[in-house]
Amino acid sequence: SSGSFNAAAKNTAVEVLTAKGCTVEVSDLYAMGFKVSATAEDIKGKVMNADNFCYMKETKLAWEQGKLSDDITKEQSKLAEADLIIFQFPMYWFGVPAILKGWIDRVLTNGFAFSEEKRYSQGIFKDKKAMLSFTTGSLESMFSPTGINGDINVTLWPLQNGTLYYCGFQVLAPQIFWAPASAAAEDRKSMLERWSTRLQGLLEEKGLSFSPWDCFDEGFPFEG
């Protein structure tokens, strides 16, 4: 919704980064009507094995042959050009909304975003930065190690380590807007002001620390 806090956070990022001389492109998945489900329709032409369809194998081949659907390749082109990707969303059920999960499933294809040899610290996108920027429904205290929702760092681990760092991204600390829907107007304004201030130096920020690939034995199973 154009009147939502997430829209305001997105608008703030666009305004500040554009003013700094950055070229900013927005993928509004809802406005785009972005397809959520990962299916054989994501591949142009025939698939290798229609009887036992394996999405990861089929889309890798389609990517190599230039046969991925146009909506996927458009997003991959944006990603290939970007130095920084900000994922702006309202937290749903301790994760991302379905439409953003669909973007992750469909756009970060095998070969384009990762491979058996290129993951984590050796990942394809190791020269790019990415971050989560999101709103919660719960207060910050509820996402503490002793809070009812548990440690927010544990909640974000699958996204930050298992998705972004897996693809090699330098993962910046998340921008969390705690329960803006229940906050006073002045508090919401302050949240956006702090975000605006952070954006001024965002491109110079260092990424979070994750365990590098070479700390572990090689050769664990990979279905490519």
The yes-or-no verdict on residue 152 having pLDDT over 90 is yes
The yes-or-no verdict on residue 146 having pLDDT over 60 is yes
Q: How many residues does the chain have?
A: 224
Return all residues near 58 (Cβ < 8 A) that are at least 6 apart: 40, 43, 47, 48, 49
DSSP 55-116: HHHHHHHHHHHT-B-HHHHHHHHHHHH-SEEEEEEE-BTTB--HHHHHHHHHHS-BTTTB-S
The yes-or-no verdict on residue 218 having pLDDT over 70 is no
| Spatial distance between the Cα atoms of 51 and 136, rounded to a whole number of angstroms | 42
Radius of gyration over every alpha carbon of the chain, rounded to an integer in angstroms: 19
Q: Each residue of 84-110: pLDDT tens digit?
A: 999 999 999 999 999 999 999 999 999
pTM, 2 dp: 0.92
Give residue 165's pLDDT: 96
C-alpha torsion sign, points 43, 100, 213, 122: positive
CB 45 within 8 A of CB 29: no
